[in-house]
Chain A
Amino acid sequence: MNAAFALIARDVRLAWRHPNEIATILAFFVIAASLFPFGIGPEPQILARVAIGIVWVTALLACLMSLDRLFQAEAEDGSLDLLVGAPAPLELLALAKVAAQWITTALPLIAISPIVATMLHLPAEGYATLLLTLVLGTPGLSLFGGIGAALSVNARRGGALLALIVLPLTVPILIFAVAAVDAAIAGLSPRPHLFLLAGLSVFALTIAPFAMAASLRQAAE
């Protein structure tokens, strides 16, 4: 456990000392989301209808951008071999890497998502549920993304490959997150969708550590 917390602390500290990386990802989130009013027209009714989808899809893509380097940096400087050979279980260490990625990328994205949602005229009833879906759903995104990142370590064309692997796996999360906010806006209870969303994240938590550890062991061979 100590090793896992040490790894999280190290990654958070690294991110803290290179604020440019997270700033770039946040800027991507805001800019990509603000392209949509130009693409589909600035009418508030249309934007209000699609706002939640735009926020979630662009947040998903922004998360994906940060996953690219999740294990690749370790593979390049050789510390991946140390992680694989460490006495602590690799499943736990991979989970710690993902947790650090979630803290340094998903949390800032969640923090600025209300601003993006405001730009897109999300109806006022949706904000609380939007934050709730992001808090429940992004761990699942990071975990599925961690599987993709571990699989594509040292691959040619890593970034595009990562998107190809991870995006199909994240579709259910997107569906239930958007359905929850749509229900809240329509005045219905978002609870069933939120439970399913949480269930997906828990499911990802049960398979991702093993899938990540298996792929990292192969990468280190």
Chain B
Amino acid sequence: MNWHRFASPSNFKRLSARIFPWAAGGAALCLGYGLYQALFVSPPDYQQGQSVRIMYIHVPAAWMAMFVYANLAFAGAATLVWRHPLAEVAGRAIAPVGAAFTFLCLATGSLWGKPMWGTWWEWDARLTSVLILFFVYLAYMALNNAFDDATRGARASAVLALVGAVNLPIIKFSVDWWNTLHQPASVMRLDGPAIHPSMLWPLLAMAVGYTLLFVVLALVRIQAELIERRLGALVQARLSAGHAQ
């Protein structure tokens, strides 16, 4: 299969038009089902009580924060190695989405931490490394916007995205390497999830819903970015044509 086919913006447009309704419908279904299950049907935790429901928002947001960053790093590699124009646009388009997921993860974690740990914020390894992830997202966006030439901004921020990818394994294993307040993994474990099915299914539905939501947002934002660039090019051409006369 020749992946370069999808490199051109017109092919991307056709492909995204085909994916978009499925992704949008799937996201609405999964999020609707997941939220209903999470907020009304699933049982309260025997220790945490009702506040366990924050987990259904928090955990998928944390997964997405890392998943989107992995995408960002991949787009960065594609920008630098193959000079792929769509990868440039994609990196720029998904960074704010990833930052939003990271912020959602930090904010919901903080809301959960106050009743459970008795503190809004704790400088434990997991929280700190996710906070750094958020800062790297901010730096990526600032660097991407810091140049008059969009390509230069895209390539510079691609280097940063690759350097910052070091943080992903640190986040993932922070709960194993350091003895910290944040609980260790309970879903993605080699010996199967240590979480009851009545809570696991709503969580997985939310995770799928978040992922599809990310796909929808990424497609819309990439389209918008392509249109914006085309508009810029048209204005430029009009201006230089007017200049020539």
- A residues near B (Cβ < 8 Å) are 147, 151-152, 154-157, 161, 164-165, 167-169, 171, 207, 211, 214-215, 218-219, 221
Contact = CB atoms under 8 A, between A and B. Distances in A.
A68 to B, nearest CB: 14
A198 to B, nearest CB: 17
Contact of B146 (A157, A167, A168, A221): A157
Q: Which one of A151, A152, A154, A211 has the greatest number of beta carbons of chain B within 10 Å?
A: A151
A169 B163 contact: yes
Contacts of B139: 161, 164-165, 168
A215 B147 contact: no
A156 B160 CA distance: 17
Contacts, number: 58
B147 A168 contact: no
A168 B135 contact: yes
B135 A156 contact: no
A164 B135 contact: yes
A137 B208 CA distance: 42
B136 to A, nearest CB: 5
Q: Which of B128, B155, B157, B163 has the most CB of A within 10 A?
A: B163
Contact of A165 (B80, B143, B155): B143
Interface in B125-158: 128, 132, 135-136, 138-139, 142-143, 146-148, 152, 155-157
A156 B146 contact: yes
A77 B152 CA distance: 20
Nearest to B170: A172
A168 B155 contact: no
A212 to B, nearest CB: 9
Contacts of B24: none
B163 A155 contact: no
B103 to A, nearest CB: 15
A155 B135 contact: no
B159 interface: yes
A31 to B, nearest CB: 26
A161 to B, nearest CB: 5
Given A207-B163, A218-B155, A171 B132 contact: yes
Interface of B: 80, 128, 132, 135-136, 138-139, 142-143, 146-148, 152, 155-157, 159-160, 162-164
B132 A168 contact: yes
B157 to A, nearest CB: 8
19 contacts: A151-B160, A152-B146, A154-B147, A154-B152, A155-B146, A156-B146, A157-B146, A161-B142, A164-B143, A168-B132, A168-B136, A171-B132, A207-B163, A211-B162, A214-B159, A215-B159, A218-B152, A219-B152, A221-B152
Contacts of A218: 152, 155-156
Given A168-B132, A218-B155, 20 more contacts: A151-B156, A151-B159, A152-B146, A155-B156, A156-B147, A161-B146, A164-B135, A164-B138, A164-B143, A165-B143, A168-B136, A168-B139, A169-B163, A169-B164, A171-B128, A171-B132, A207-B163, A214-B80, A214-B159, A218-B152
A70 to B, nearest CB: 15
Contacts of A147: 159-160, 163
Q: A155, A214, A221: which has the most chain B beta carbons within 10 Å?
A: A155
A155 B155 CA distance: 13
B156 A164 contact: no
Nearest to B123: A175
Contacts of A169: 163-164
A73 B157 CA distance: 21
- Looking at A154, A156, A157, A218, which has the most chain B CB atoms within 10 Å of its CB? A218
Contacts of A167: 135
Contacts of B142: 161, 164-165
Contacts of B164: 168-169
A164 B137 CA distance: 10
Nearest to A165: B139
Contacts of B136: 168
A178 to B, nearest CB: 12
